């Protein structure tokens, strides 16, 4: 057979082997195909593959043909071996007598007991990418490796490099897929547990909400019933104590008057507390639809309610000539103003000077709705910061100086909140206090005619 025919036959065989390698994804099967092809194409007794590892100064036999299988796993120093020389230079190398070559790493022979006579080593590389070395050892019939063997093994090594990297990449993807699948399974299991726990907690929460709703309804009904039932006996106490005072005055019975006065005063206070509890309960139970109101009409009703208090304390109330229209509920707003004005009279200056007012409408940036701030300013001593922060809390407890604020202001907050507004206070010690609340203005399309 001529040299050209031999070359063509080898080329066809390399293509066949390359096709077989590209269709093999198992690294073990692929490496076995490569060394078997190297033995076949170079007519040698054995072949092996060394790949560069994580250590920069070392390569390792990862596979060898059947006759040299003991080489697998043996490390070889790059700087003191024939394979290392080929790997560094990237050039093929024929060594007719390996024992006479100073680059021969004799420790391999000592470990496995295999004697290599001649050697052909080519780099496993494709373009600039170099991953290791492919070796063929001891050509059959005592012949020497020639240039055709070099070209054949170099061509095989180029195809093998691509196949090895593809197989490694595929293996990495498989490993990544397995890891991802394991992670997904673990996360799914954890999610199922979390969902199960969340469902259980949700059921418990729904049960708690239901129980709390029932409890709140029962408490509201209880407070309403108790307050309502207390109303009648308190009325009797107030009436009889007033009768005692009226009958004792003409006779000059001062002892009886002194006994009756604190009874009536205490009963009056208890009656106001009961009224507050009833109002608080009714506000919580009742839903209303805010309607356009002229605040002037609300203030007129409030002035009638506080007239006796104004006379008792000789209070002066200053108010604007006109009031804005807002959305609200008249009965509730009378409670708000009555609480604010009563507190201002009781805890303001002496004599009390009370100023009522309303600021121009301001648009809410979040809702795009305009709100009016209404306020009551007194000339009292002002309130410390610690008290201000608790004023509107339901059933808040204060010291003896501020105890009268409690229930009334919690009613104010409950009412204004249900009407869509906010409450607050501005106060500086020795400079009086300003209590305010806000309400939405009437949309222009619903604005009542100014008559």
So what's the architecture of 287-446 in CATH?
A: 2-Layer Sandwich (3.30)
What is the structure's pLDDT at 411?
85
| pLDDT (tens place) for every residue of the chain, 451 residues total | 556 776 677 777 777 777 777 667 677 888 888 888 888 988 898 888 999 877 678 888 888 886 556 777 888 899 889 999 999 999 999 999 988 899 988 877 777 666 678 899 999 988 878 989 999 998 888 889 999 999 988 988 888 888 888 877 887 888 888 888 888 888 888 888 888 888 888 888 888 877 666 655 545 555 555 555 555 675 666 665 667 667 666 666 676 666 666 666 566 555 555 555 555 555 656 677 889 999 999 999 999 989 999 999 999 999 999 999 999 999 899 999 999 999 999 988 899 999 999 999 988 766 678 999 999 999 998 888 878 878 887 655 444 454 445 577 888 998 999 999 999 999 988 889 999 999 999 875 444 544 3
DSSP one-letter string for 299-342: HHHHHHHTHHHHHHHT-EEE--S---EEEE-HHHHHHHHHHHHH
Q: Which two tokens stand for residue 189?
A: 């299991």
Polymer length of the chain: 451
Name the residue with tokens 């076995």.
Answer: 32
340 contacts 376 by C-beta, under 8 angstroms: yes
What is the structure's pLDDT at 198?
85
**What b-and-e string marks burial along 230-248, b requiring 16 or more CB atoms within 10 Å of the CB?**
beeebeebbeebbebbeeb
Domain coordinates in residue numbering, the chain:
3-177, 287-446
What is the structure's pLDDT at 356?
97
What is the structure's pLDDT at 306?
92
φ, ψ for residue 93, nearest 5 deg = -145, 130
CATH class of this structure's domain 3-177: alpha beta
């Amino acid at each position: 057979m001529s040299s050209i025919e031999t070359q063509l036959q080898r080329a066809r065989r390399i293509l066949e082997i390359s096709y077989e390698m590209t269709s093999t994804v198992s690294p073990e099967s692929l490496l076995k195909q490569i060394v078997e092809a190297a033995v076949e194409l170079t007519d040698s007794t054995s072949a092996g593959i060394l790949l560069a590892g994580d250590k920069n100064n070392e390569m390792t036999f990862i596979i060898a043909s059947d006759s040299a299988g003991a080489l697998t796993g043996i490390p070889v120093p790059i700087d003191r071996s024939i394979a290392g020389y080929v790997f560094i230079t990237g050039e093929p190398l024929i060594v007719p007598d390996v024992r006479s070559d100073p680059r021969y790493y004799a420790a391999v022979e000592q470990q496995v007991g295999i004697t290599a006579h001649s050697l052909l080593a080519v780099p496993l590389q494709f373009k600039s990418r170099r991953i290791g070395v492919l070796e063929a050892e001891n050509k059959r019939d005592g012949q020497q490796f020639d240039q055709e063997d070099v070209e054949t093994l170099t061509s095989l090594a180029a195809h093998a490099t691509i196949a090895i990297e593809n197989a490694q990449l595929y293996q990495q993807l498989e490993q990544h897929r397995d890891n991802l699948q394991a992670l997904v399974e673990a996360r799914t299991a954890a999610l199922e547990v979390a969902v199960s726990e969340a469902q259980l907690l949700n059921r418990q929460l729904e049960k708690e909400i239901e129980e709390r709703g029932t409890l709140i309804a029962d408490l509201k009904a209880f407070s309403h019933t108790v307050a309502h039932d207390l109303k009648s006996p308190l009325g009797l106490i107030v009436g009889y104590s007033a009768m005692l005072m009226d009958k004792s005055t003409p006779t000059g019975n001062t002892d009886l008057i002194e006994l009756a006065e604190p009874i009536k005063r205490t009963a009056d206070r208890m009656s106001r507390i009961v009224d507050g509890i009833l109002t608080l309960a009714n506000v919580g139970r009742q839903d209303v639809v805010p309607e356009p109101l002229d605040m002037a009409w609300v203030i007129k009703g409030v002035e009638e309610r506080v007239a006796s208090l104004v006379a008792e304390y000789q209070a002066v109330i200053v108010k604007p000539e006109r009031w804005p229209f807002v959305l609200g509920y008249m009965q509730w707003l009378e409670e708000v103003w009555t609480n604010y004005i009563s507190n201002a009279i009781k805890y303001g200056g002496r004599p009390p000077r009370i100023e009522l007012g309303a600021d121009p409408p301001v648009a809410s940036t979040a809702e795009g709705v305009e709100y009016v701030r209404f306020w009551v300013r007194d000339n009292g001593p002002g309130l410390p910061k610690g008290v201000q922060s608790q004023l509107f809390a339901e059933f808040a407890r204060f010291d003896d100086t501020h105890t009268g604020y409690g229930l009334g202001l919690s009613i104010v907050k409950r009412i204004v909140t249900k009407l869509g507004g906010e409450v607050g206070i501005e106060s500086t010690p020795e400079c009086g206090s300003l209590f305010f609340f806000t309400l939405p203005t009437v949309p222009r399309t619903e604005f009542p005619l100014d008559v």
